[in-house]
Amino acid sequence: MSILNFEDRTPRTLQGMYDYLVDISKTDDLGIFGLGVNPKYAVMEMDFVQKVYFHEQLSHPYVQRIFSFDVGTALDILVLRKICIEIGNCLVTDERQVLGAIHYKNTDKKHCHYMINYVGMRGNLYRQGHSVIFFKERANMVLERYGLSPVVYYGLEAKTLTG
Q: Check residue 50 and give left, alpha or beta (phi > 0: left; psi -120 to 50: alpha).
A: alpha
Q: What is the 3-state secondary structure (H, E, C) of the chain?
A: CEEEEEECCCCCCHHHHHHHHCCCCCCCHHHEEEECCCHHHHHHHHHHHHHHHCCCCCCCCEEEEEEECCCCCCCCHHHHHHHHHHHHHHCCCCCCCEEEEEECCCCCCCEEEEEEECECCCCCECCCCCCHHHHHHHHHHHHHHCCCCCECECCECHHHHHC
Mean pLDDT of the 18-23 span: 97
Q: What is the pLDDT of residue 48?
A: 94
pTM, two decimal places: 0.89
Task: Say if residue 124's pLDDT is above 90.
Answer: no
Distance CA 63, CA 61 (A): 7
Q: Is residue 1 pLDDT above 80, yes or no? A: no
Q: Tell whether the model's pLDDT for residue 163 goes beyond 70.
A: no
Q: What is the pLDDT of residue 42?
A: 97
Query: What's the average model confidence in pLDDT over 82-105?
Result: 95
Which amino acid, 127? Answer: R
Closest alpha carbon to 146 in 54, 83, 74:
83
* pLDDT surpasses 60 at 27: yes
When the pLDDT of each residue in the chain is averaged and rounded to a whole number, the result is: 88
121 compared with 41, residue with greater pLDDT:
41
Residue 158 reports pLDDT greater than 60: no
Task: Provide the pLDDT for residue 155.
Answer: 53
- Which of 22-26, 31-35, 128-132 is the least confident region? 128-132
